[in-house]
Amino acid sequence: MTRSQKLLAVFFTIAGILHFVRPRSYEAIMPEYIPYHSEAVFISGVAEVAGGLALVSERTRPFARWWLIGLLIAVFPANLHMALNPEDIRGLDMDQVPRWALWARLPLQAAAVYWVIRATEKKRR
């Protein structure tokens, strides 16, 4: 495993575990039009852990690539909702979190997709 693959695996695994440690934070950023908030947080946590662990094996890395890209796309609406409607997010202290930081998360998701692609591509020999 490359250093990038290890970091990516740790990043997604820890991010997924946090869904179980602090589920209310994740539920709070979900748009109202998405039903079953606690179930969606649980599923997305499992999905992140599964994607992180799938990065570990070379055999499952191609699966991890598409799994994690799909996951990043799937959670994008929640991050967009948070940037557009920070006043609707329970527990979000706008004195502690600058509005620009909420907007900065959006291109960071594109960067995360790029990281997943680069870390999981087959190296030419």
> For 25-68, how does the pLDDT look when each residue is reduced to its tens digit (9 = 90+)?
888 888 888 889 999 999 999 999 999 999 999 999 999 999 99
For range 3-19, the mean pLDDT: 96
Whole-angstrom Cα distance, residue 90 to residue 26?
Answer: 10
pLDDT, tens digit (0-9, with 9 covering 90-100), for 78-121: 889 889 988 888 777 777 888 888 899 899 999 999 999 999 98
> Which pLDDT score is estimated for 111?
95
Q: Give the residue extent of every domain in the chain.
A: 3-120
